[in-house]
Amino acid sequence: MQDTTSPHSQPSNHRPSPQRHQSSGPRAPSRTPPPGRRRPHRRDHPHAAANALALKHQDIARAVAANLSRRTGHPREDLEQIAMVGIILAARRYVPERGGFRPFARRYANGEVHHFLRDRGFLIKVPPSWREMNARGKKLQGAGVTSAAVAQRLGVDERRWEEIVQACSVGVVHLGLIEPL
């Protein structure tokens, strides 16, 4: 006689489960709470401690964002949010035995913002001599000196001065606005 049991069949002493879709018999109680009562939730969020640690160190996100905003011209508020994402990731991966949290979080925040700037836009590289000239020229213009006089004092012609001002005023170009071909 051939064995008809499959490796997935149940042992003979196991009672088969009742059919779930039979219409006869009483219905099982619903799992949804009655109106007006809330469903019980998990008491502790799995990342509650890490999120609390990250919130205590929001000043790192502000400092990183302010520094990179000055250098790139990208809005500080946007960079602060992105830096905060880095701090949250750092808090979730932090192991106290390996050192202090602040340097660890700063590295993650800087990395997150740099990745954002690299992936979502590009930084226009302006020569340091132009940035320096632009800074000196802006101070002179703030004192009321005309654009032609600024160019003369800096030792460049007016066309070059306009080019320097234009290059230094562009920070980040968002590539997300360009439609694919």
Q: What is the pLDDT of residues 54-108, one digit of tens each?
A: 999 999 999 999 998 887 767 889 999 999 999 999 999 999 898 999 999 999 9
Residues 53 and 106 grouped into a single domain: yes
Residue 2 included in any domain: no
| Mean pLDDT of the chain, nearest integer | 78
| Claim to verify: residue 118 and residue 138 sit in the same structural domain | no
Domain assignment of residue 116, given as a range: 48-122
Q: Is residue 34 in a domain?
A: no
| Percentage of the residues of the chain whose pLDDT score is greater than 90 | 33
Judge whether 18 lies within some domain.
no
Q: What pLDDT does 118 receive?
A: 79
| 96: in domain | yes
Do residues 109 and 63 share a domain? yes
Half-sphere exposure of 27 (CA within 13 A, CB side): 4
**pLDDT (0 to 100) of residue 177:** 44
Question: What span, in angstroms and rounded, lies between the C-alpha atoms of 109 and 105?
Answer: 6
Residues 59 and 114 in one domain: yes
Structural domain contains residue 115? yes
Q: Are residues 118 and 61 in the same domain?
A: yes
Q: Do residue 63 and residue 116 come from a single domain?
A: yes
Tokens representing 103 are 């340097």
C-alpha–C-alpha distance, residues 30 and 151, integer Å = 80
Identify the pLDDT of residue 131. Answer: 81
**What is d(CA 65, CA 81) in angstroms, rounded to the nearest whole number?**
8
DSSP, res 174? E
Sequence letter at residue 46: P
114 and 132: one domain?
A: no
The predicted pLDDT at position 180 comes to 47
From the list 50, 47, 117, 121, the residue with the least C-alpha distance to 83 is 117
**Same domain assignment for residues 147 and 166:** yes
In this structure, are 69 and 110 located in the same domain?
A: yes
Instruction: Map tokens 């709470």 to a residue.
Output: 33
CATH number at residue 105: 1.10.1740
Strands in 3-162 per DSSP E: 121-123
Q: Which residue has the tokens 């779930």?
A: 20
Q: Do 135 and 110 belong to one domain?
A: no
Residue 119: what pLDDT?
A: 75
Q: Which residues pair with 123 in a beta bridge?
A: 172
Residue 63 CA to its chain's centroid (Å): 15
The count of structural domains within the chain is 2
